[in-house]
Amino acid sequence: MIIDHYRLETLEEAVELLSRDHPPTYPLGGGSELNKPNKERYVVIDLPNLGPGFLEKKKIFLRIRATATPQ
């Protein structure tokens, strides 16, 4: 169960929250896993303000930054 939500402005804030032990904190991507019914209590953080998203192709791999948008 999501008990709190943050929309952060800096990468440093994200790293600080993600490295704490209690309550568990997860980056919010698409949200499908985190929105499933769950007894665990945790905090989520939004990443879009942390910089532009991008797609990058290297040989047969596609790298997608967490802040990339469907557009």
* DSSP secondary structure letters along the chain: -EEEEEE-S-HHHHHHHHT--SS-EEEESS-TTTTS--S--EEEEE-GGGS---EEEETTEEEE-TT----
Q: Which residues constitute the domain of residue 19?
A: 2-64
Query: What pLDDT, on a 0 to 100 scale, did the predictor assign at position 49?
Result: 67
Per-residue pLDDT tens for 18-53? 898 899 998 876 666 777 787 888 998 887 766 666
Query: Do the beta carbons of residue 28 and residue 47 sit within 8 Å?
Result: yes
10 falls within a domain: yes
Q: How many domains does the chain have?
A: 1
Query: What pLDDT, on a 0 to 100 scale, did the predictor assign at position 45?
Result: 86
Query: What pLDDT, on a 0 to 100 scale, did the predictor assign at position 54?
Result: 61
Alpha-carbon distance values, 12 to 8, 9, 26, 47 (Å): 9, 9, 15, 12
For the entire predicted model, the pTM comes to 0.62
59 falls within a domain: yes
